[in-house]
Amino acid sequence: MTTFDPNAAASSDSGIFGLPFSVDEAKLVLLPVPWEVTTSYGGGTSKGPEAILQASKQVDLFDFDLGNIYEAGIAMTDIPHEILQWNHDARKLAEVVIHADESINEGYLKSVRDEVNDYSDKLNQHVYSEAKKYLAQGKMVGVVGGDHSTPFGLIQALLEKHPGMGILHIDAHADLRDAYEGFEHSHASIMYNVITKTPLAKLVQVGIRDFCEEEFIFIQQHNSRIKTFFDAELFEAKMNHKIWSDICDDIIEQLPQEVYISFDIDGLDPRFCPHTGTPVPGGLDFQEALYLIKKVAKSGRKIVGFDLNEVSPGDADGEWDANVGARVLYKLCGYALSHRA
């Protein structure tokens, strides 16, 4: 750090946010997971980690709220070529199922689904093993997706270390579908899997505005573990003159002392993420989302981990999505480190 100038342009060989830290030196390690096997609408999220890495080098390091929090050390591991290959192979298989018509034998489709599910299991085990390795070294860990299925292994690893942890889930979608399209670890099933396959005590969802009746019933059936702040309710509260700060207090009151943040970029208004895989009108303003995260950190709760997912750079004009994603990521890193720096 002696020769590092935080006010200068990032060098071409620098790490995430233009920082000079190695993974060994960093207090917070980011795991890039380039994965979009089960996405069924728009694509491109597997390119999210690389796009965010490049866009992050334009983020100014001094933060109005957090100062020079980067000095605690943030590093991203190399994007795993093995996962890129798994993603390529499994995506080809998944497309057979997604685009199947009545002429395709159901037995064949089941065998294809099973193969895709096997790839997803390998991905989850990889993320779990990597997360366990760095957590054992006393580091914080975050996942940079990829689609929203990517953080399951990290959530498992963190629950072993922080069994009382709750999840703050910012998203347009409830993600409570049981094996959507037959894919056990679909991007639309991440929170269903967390509720049914882990001992998580509390899931607090914010900004949800696209969900099916089955998911709505699931929320009601698990209301001791799931609290959902639907986007329509948030909007109506604001229209009735309830200020965002008070709404944030209501959200945070539902969270335990240790918090994991799962941030799907489509939880924001689509003007901030136009190329995300499944954009939905409505959602949080950029500053509203950051203010909520800030209030979580200021409430005395401890952010123990996080993921950022569903950022898609889209076409040649898609750097806006990565730009927004990189800035959300920097805030997530900063508030997580604020308890450790």
**Contact (CB, 8 A) for 326 and 52:** yes
Q: What percent of the chain has pLDDT over 70?
A: 97
- Interval 284-338: pLDDT, tens: 999 999 999 999 999 999 999 999 999 999 765 668 999 999 999 999 999 999 9
- pLDDT surpassing 90 at residue 262: yes
Assigned token pair, 188? 């639309």
**Contact (CB, 8 A) for 274 and 44:** no
CA–CA separation, 70 and 78 (whole Å)? 19
- Interval 62-111: pLDDT, tens: 999 999 999 999 999 999 999 999 999 999 999 998 888 766 778 889 99
Residue 53 φ then ψ, to 5°: -55, -45
C-alpha distance across the termini of the chain, in Å: 16
Quick one: which of 245, 253, 172 has its CA closest to 207?
A: 172
Give pLDDT, residue 2: 60
Of all helices (H) and strands (E), which one includes residue 215? helix 213-221
- pLDDT surpassing 70 at residue 181: yes
**Contact (CB, 8 A) for 277 and 145:** no
- pLDDT surpassing 70 at residue 1: no
Residues with Cβ < 8 Å from 91, sequence gap 6 or more? Answer: 36, 37
Query: What number is the average pLDDT over the span 240-252?
Result: 98
Give pLDDT, residue 100: 82
Give pLDDT, residue 40: 75
Quick one: which of 305, 310, 307 has its CA closest to 267?
A: 310
DSSP 180: G
State yes or no: cis peptide before 267, omega within 30 of 0: no
**Contact (CB, 8 A) for 141 and 27:** no
Mean model confidence pLDDT for the chain:
95
- pLDDT surpassing 60 at residue 140: yes
16-337 topology per CATH: Arginase; Chain A (3.40.800)
- pLDDT surpassing 80 at residue 134: yes
